Amino acid sequence: MAENHPPPDSPVLPQTFDGAKQIRFQCRKGIACWNACCSNIDISLTPYDILRLKHRFGISSGEFLQKYTVPYEMERDSIAGVKLRPVENGTACQFMTPEGCSVYEDRPTACRYYPVALLSLRRQDESTDRDSYALVRETHCLGHNEPRPITVDDYRKEQGLVEYDELARGWRQLVLKKKSSGPTIGKPSVRSRQLFFMACYDIDRFRPFVASDGFNDLYDLPPETLEKILGDDTELMLFGFRFLMQVLFGDESISMRHEAVEQRRLRHQAKAQRMEIEAAERRAAERDGMYENPDE
Ligand code: SF4
Ligand code: SF4
């Protein structure tokens, strides 16, 4: 699923449109190209896709990530994304069966959208409707020849995408914000990349992080909020988006304990000073010839 304008050699057609656009498409059992689209996959997952699939299998997010996904960089030196891992030594989806998708009720967003590409989604805080889509036309897909007209809005409803898009909105905003911040903000630190990965994709590792004393010393969450977040994966995921918006972009929506923040700032300052002193001492020692060069 594309989220930006397609490159010139992409099967995504250049015309973009809104949800009222009528397309002609139907995918149905018995069609001659059955499973062709699932035989050669490139499926990016949203955090909600991962939740749905890991619940389906009754496994932890860590197990799901390890068995069924590969990480990738959405942009060079930028934030991480996660894709479905194809079958060993092949390109087909691990969930494909002769009867079709074996995880159909929980299939990922990109599979639901196909052959529509979501180019951008209206921000929640914007009143104007800017959702924009394009059509993906690949020669192997015969669904475009089926005589069924349907608007994109109805197609999204039919495919259960209203809920999926709503629950991925915070994540998309984070991704777009990072992409649009560009090189001026620079390469995110290793820690922020790890936080992003954990909060977005590895929810079962994010939960103990949120439950930890260290986190609660810093963030002032009412006990009932904490209980709600820790007891429900979807709530925890949505909280994770807010947390990342705050940590990565300073968009403060979670109250902090300012005394603890100040103490942490002082600790970091002291550490930075210590490191600076040690580096200066090392430079002075080198200057004074105290470090012997083994080649001499
Ligand atoms: S998850 Fe299902 S629909 Fe998506 S690529 Fe795999 S088999 Fe196809
Ligand atoms: S019609 Fe398109 S989406 Fe449906 S099985 Fe064929 S290739 Fe896949």
Q: HSE, CB side, 13 Å, CA atoms: give it for residue 194.
A: 5
pLDDT at 2: 34
Per-residue pLDDT band for 176 (boundaries 50, 70, 90) equals: confident
Which residue, chain included where needed, has tokens 């990965």? 197
Question: Is residue 122 situated within a structural domain?
Answer: yes
Residue 148, phi then psi, degrees to nearest 5: -120, 110
Question: Is residue 251 situated within a structural domain?
Answer: no
pLDDT at 182 over 80: no
Question: Is residue 86 situated within a structural domain?
Answer: yes
Residue 82 bridge partners (DSSP) = 71
68: left (phi over 0), alpha (psi -120 to 50) or beta: alpha
Q: Whose CA is nearest to atom 2 of ligand 1?
A: 101
Question: Is residue 178 situated within a structural domain?
Answer: no
Per-residue pLDDT band for 123 (boundaries 50, 70, 90) equals: low
pLDDT at 7 over 60: no
100: containing domain: 12-169
Question: Is residue 276 situated within a structural domain?
Answer: no
For the segment 131-149, the average pLDDT, to the nearest whole number, is 94
pLDDT at 151 over 60: yes
Query: For a pocket test of ligand 2, which of 41, 101, 116, 142 has the largest count of ligand atoms closer than 8 A to its C-beta?
Result: 142
pLDDT at 1: 36
Q: pLDDT tens digit string along 74-100?
A: 876 578 899 999 999 999 999 999 999
Best-predicted range by mean pLDDT (143-147, 190-194, 262-266): 143-147
% of residues, the chain, pLDDT over 70 = 88
Question: Is residue 218 situated within a structural domain?
Answer: no
Which residue, chain included where needed, has tokens 């002032």? 220
Q: Whose CA is nearest to atom 7 of ligand 2?
A: 141
Ligand at minimal distance from the CA of 141 is 2
Q: Token pair for residue 190?
A: 């290793």
Which pTM value belongs to this model?
Answer: 0.84
Question: Is residue 126 situated within a structural domain?
Answer: yes
For the segment 201-213, the average pLDDT, to the nearest whole number, is 97
Count the domains in the chain. 1
pLDDT at 3: 39
Question: Is residue 125 situated within a structural domain?
Answer: yes
